Amino acid sequence: MDPLLAPFRARRARTVAWVLTAVVIASVIALFVTVRPNAATTLGAGDYGIVLVFAAILIAILWRQATVSAVPDERGVTVRNLVLTRRVEWAEVVSVRFSSDRAWAQLDVIDDDPIAVMAIQNADGARARDEAQRLATLVERYGGTSVND
């Protein structure tokens, strides 16, 4: 397999998301073990259920953040961001934009709004710049015209 076609994944955001997931799980366990109903508290099954639902929502958001990616192939790239996943063919991509003042890379596409590529995040420093350049190289190789800020 061509190493240029390896998936793009943010490192720091992914690490933070997994660490926070562990903190949420540990916090829920600690809460359930240490807080017992007594004269000062009247926690019932519904209270514990609300905590579990809230924790599940947090974990789902963190999981989605940890799995943000951009998966290229010879025909295009599938961009999975925090909320949406979108497939873009290389011929639709006009340019790749990334610079120190951007939180993440951006794909400018023909006749549509730009697409954020959260898998290439400025927080990753030099690695992010290299990954943005790799994405720009893929755009040039497979059909677009790429300008990297």
Terminal C-alpha separation, the chain = 28
Q: What is the dihedral of CA 121, 60, 81, 5, to 10 degrees?
A: 80
pTM over 0.75: yes
Residue 34: band (very low, low, confident or very high) from pLDDT cuts 50, 70, 90: confident
- What is the per-residue pLDDT across 104-141, written as a single tens digit (0 to 9) for each? 999 999 988 999 999 999 999 999 999 999 999 999 99
Rounded Cα gap, residues 39 and 132, in angstroms: 59
